[in-house]
Amino acid sequence: MNKEAIKISLKEVAKDRPYVLLMGLITLVGAAYCLIVALNVHPSDVTVYTRYTAFGEAHFYKDHWQYLISFGLFGVVVTLAHAALMVKLHDMGRRQTGVLIGWFGITVLLVAFAYTMAIISLGHAA
């Protein structure tokens, strides 16, 4: 896609007020998620569980606090990807699918927030 096609797509989306409000809502939820995660990540010597595997001796693997920054980056990726998908689907004439994608994006961010806060609290408790 060239710049002109992107501008035309964004102008078409801008005419649909409820759609723009949903895109604004997913952006707001994504920004809040990233801000809260960034404010709750604190440097410490405590390692946190980062992954689980059924293979190997330990099953649970730990990593340092810097790993928690990737949760904030996940929020950025989810927000941008869902907003871009919404624009593309609106451009294709699939408005209802775009609305569904928008609500799924918000749901993903809320579930990720619950998991992220649980993982971050494990680091603070130890």
**What are 42-95's pLDDT values in tens digits?**
877 777 777 777 776 777 777 777 888 888 999 999 999 999 999 999 999 999
Backbone angles phi, psi at 27, to 5 degrees: -65, -40
Q: Where are the alpha helices (DSSP H) in 1-126?
A: 3-14, 17-40, 69-91, 95-125
pLDDT of residue 56: 67
Counting residues of the chain whose pLDDT is more than 70, the rounded percentage is: 94
Average pLDDT, the chain: 87
Contact 98, 85 (CB under 8 A): yes
